């Protein structure tokens, strides 16, 4: 009998593998620049999980990526710089691939976060007096965060629940567009 109490504590689970490659490029063409970055990471760890077999609960082993580690992350920024006019601007897009959001004690029951795209923009106008005005907008696409559980024996009976690529959606939320406008003064 496990009772109703839930305890969350950090734990070391053994040896993990984490390898990858990153490419970063930045190039200006007079007033216009491009900055691109791509990271591929392969991570894995094998941990024990619980699994129901009839009326028994047995321990099995399952290999998974490290918590929060997306295999693919990419960024692309378009940079605009007009020093003669004191104007700088940037339009940035980023992609974060599917990643593990919560680790379950049960076999094939982890919660994943779907890959998503974000788009941000900023502009700043500086004056000779040291005064600057700026605006920054984040999450212009208002991309949702989708958390899901891959199909497994525990979810196969959930026919009427919303799905994401065949997986059961655990949560879907939007964080809205954020806009910051300000004035800055430098001595």
Q: Which residue ranges make up each domain of the chain?
A: 16-185
Check residue 176 and give left, alpha or beta (phi > 0: left; psi -120 to 50: alpha). Answer: left
Digits of tens for pLDDT over the chain (187 positions)? 556 677 777 777 778 999 999 999 999 999 999 999 999 999 999 999 999 888 999 999 999 999 999 999 999 999 999 999 999 999 999 999 999 999 999 999 999 999 999 999 999 999 999 999 999 999 999 999 999 999 888 788 888 888 898 899 999 999 999 999 999 998 8
For 66, which DSSP code?
A: P
Q: How far apart, in whole angstroms, are the C-alpha atoms of residue 120 and residue 103?
A: 30
Q: Which two tokens stand for residue 81?
A: 């710089």
What's the pTM value of the predicted model, to 2 decimals? 0.83
């Amino acid at each position: 009998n496990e009772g109703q109490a839930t305890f969350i504590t950090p734990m070391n689970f053994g040896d993990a593998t984490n390898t990858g490659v990153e490419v970063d490029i930045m190039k200006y063409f007079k007033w216009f620049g491009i900055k691109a970055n791509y990271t591929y990471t392969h991570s894995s760890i094998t941990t024990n999980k619980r699994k129901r077999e009839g009326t028994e609960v047995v321990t099995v082993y399952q290999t998974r990526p490290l918590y929060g580690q997306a295999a693919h992350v990419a960024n692309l920024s378009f940079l605009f710089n007009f020093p003669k006019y004191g104007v700088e601007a940037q339009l940035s897009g980023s992609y974060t691939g599917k990643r593990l959001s919560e680790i379950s004690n049960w076999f094939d029951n982890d919660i994943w976060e779907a890959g998503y795209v974000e788009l941000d923009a900023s502009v700043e106008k500086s004056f000779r007096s040291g005064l600057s005005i700026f605006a920054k907008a984040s999450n212009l696409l208002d991309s949702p965060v989708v958390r899901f559980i891959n199909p497994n024996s525990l979810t196969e009976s959930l026919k009427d629940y919303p799905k994401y690529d065949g997986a059961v959606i655990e949560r879907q939320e939007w964080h809205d567009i954020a806009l910051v406008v300000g004035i800055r003064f430098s001595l």
